[in-house]
Amino acid sequence: MPRIPAARALAPLRRALTCSNSIPFLATRAISTTPFPRALYKTRDGTKVAPTIPESQAVETEYSPSEEEIDALRVQEEESHGPGLAVPSQLVETPAEREAKALHPEYEPARSLQELGALPGVENWWEKEEHWGPESQFKGFARTGTQVQQEEPVIEVYLRRALVEVLALKQAGKWDEWATKAWPRRGDDQFRATLEMDITESGELKQDASHIVAELTTGESDSPSEGITESEGQEILAERQWDSSWAQIPLDAATKFALRKRVYQFSGYLIPDSRLGAAHNVGHLLALGCKKPKPAHLASILEQEGAYDALSNVKAHAQKISFVEKEKSIGRWKVIEEELKARGLPVLGASDAAPKHKEQRWIISTFRNVKR
């Protein structure tokens, strides 16, 4: 009978029966990574001395700050919140009845809802003005709402001032530093001093502009002016009478951005990007930036153009004119009103007794028959 040559043990069975050499986590102990020799050194006289651990291999002890450092950190944290911001008070835990009696023998707990004292809540805390300091007041960069100015004389005066300020910064060598920063809005004195500067055809200032640069770059206080009206802008243009050479000064991208930002800061009118990209000099920027908005109604366009002013029997109105308004303009409405009242007819609309619908007429007739 043939035998099975060299029968071997099954590999899966051997793997399942072998013991693992790993140690459970619970059976491990804390092991220090600092090497420490177990043997003790012997001196010449035969005494055993434990070896010393070098400072580089010694385990660092936990750092505990002192009370002075803790107080300094606490003061620094309190100062970082800001002195003017009012915050709600912290919650105070009320002690239990036994603890309150132990602290205050005259304490008597409330037995009904009416005896409880009412404490103010925080539901209306945000609406109170005394909780908001000056640091919480919003200060806009430019005018908003009805204060926006788009008149051509006003924009031209503001653009002239912005151009003088840009040229002054370039002349002083501070243009790269202050091109993208927020420039302060000064009062009327600085406004007049800026408009008195003369500009050459090459785009340079004739006078010394150190005082303008000092007002733009130094001093944190800001005293903004109320701006100018359209009539004041026309007076300034008539008084100064600037030549047209300053409108031909070429502008690069950084200068156009600074001029638009400054004009927007004064007037509140932001020149669109499409118009800003199409401008190549100051004249283009003035023409594209002062474009007046189109009227919303056709009557406004006809009134502005004055096409029918020469015709005595033609007049444009913003809305449809009714029959009553026509008669009132002529002066016949009082006569018509008196005649209608004398004949018992309604002045405006149908009479109250006359039914407006067939259903209403049928209901009225049915009610009268039933009543009889």
3-state secondary structure of 13: helix
What is the reported pLDDT for 3? 53
Positive or negative torsion for Cα 223, 224, 229, 235: positive
Residue 287, CA distances (Å) to 268, 290, 335 in order: 17, 6, 56
Which residues contact residue 247 at a Cβ distance below 8 angstroms, ignoring those fewer than 6 apart?
281, 282, 283, 286
Question: Domain coordinates of the chain in residue numbers?
Answer: 145-289, 332-371
Compute the distance between CA of residue 142 and CA of residue 150 in angstroms, rounded to an integer: 13
Which residues contact residue 270 at a Cβ distance below 8 angstroms, ignoring those fewer than 6 apart?
142, 260, 264
Tokens of 196: 């008195």
What is the reported pLDDT for 82? 54
What is the reported pLDDT for 314? 80
Question: Directed axis angle between helix 253-267 and helix 152-172, to 10°?
Answer: 130
- Per DSSP, helices labelled H in 268-297 are 273-278, 282-289
Q: pLDDT of the chain along its 372 residues, tens only?
A: 445 544 454 554 455 445 555 555 444 454 555 554 555 555 566 666 555 655 555 555 556 778 888 888 777 776 655 555 556 566 667 778 778 778 888 888 888 888 887 777 777 888 888 778 777 777 778 877 778 888 888 899 999 999 999 999 999 999 998 888 888 877 667 788 888 888 988 888 988 888 888 888 875 555 555 678 888 888 888 888 888 889 899 999 999 999 999 999 888 888 888 888 888 999 988 888 776 667 777 877 887 788 778 888 887 777 888 888 888 888 899 999 999 888 888 888 766 555 566 677 777 777 666 655
Q: What is the pTM of this model?
A: 0.50
Residue 277, CA distances (Å) to 77, 142, 215, 252 in order: 49, 22, 30, 10
